[in-house]
Amino acid sequence: MLKSIEYPIEDGDDQGKIFIIERMPLFTADKWARYLIKALAEAGEKLLESVLKYPVRETTDLALILFGKMKLSDLERSFETLLRCCKVQDSVNKNYREIVSEDIEDPMTLTCLRTKALELHRDYLQASYLQLMPLNVIFGLSSKEANED
């Protein structure tokens, strides 16, 4: 059984609605994480020159900038995949069903759902990132040398 969390909305226009956020199956999540890591790495390449000139102060700033530098198609694909992990509780029969656009009125609900889904898949992102580390060994680079290039 896949891990899931129940997420009740406590304020805003969607107050009282209950969502369930479920982890993706292993291979689906792994593929999604590799895709996102690659897209973020490509965005980071575009960002590198300006960061060297104007250092980023906060990691949250860096995340915002990286997501902002991603190709729109990559960003949309990543966000849509996260939203597919979310279901809404039907107010009549209490079963969970796929979300349709009419289910969400508050834009912050959408943001919170994606954020919670991302948190639920954080370990997949970390694992995908770590899969890149053996490349340093293959090419004979230490972590320090790899970071200097």
pLDDT tens track for 1-22: 889 999 999 999 999 999 999 9
pLDDT, residue 73, reads 93
What average pLDDT is seen over the chain? 84
**65-88 pLDDT, tens digit each:** 777 788 899 999 999 999 999 999
- Provide the 3-class DSSP secondary structure of residue 138: helix
Name all contacts of 8-13 with Cβ < 8 Å and 24+ positions apart.
Answer: 9/106, 9/109, 9/112, 12/106, 12/108, 12/109, 13/105, 13/106, 13/109
Q: Give the C-alpha separation, 120 to 82, whole Å.
A: 10
List the one residue out of 117, 91, 114 whose CA is nearest residue 102: 91
Higher pLDDT among residues 4 and 59, named by residue? 4
Q: What is the pTM of this model?
A: 0.77
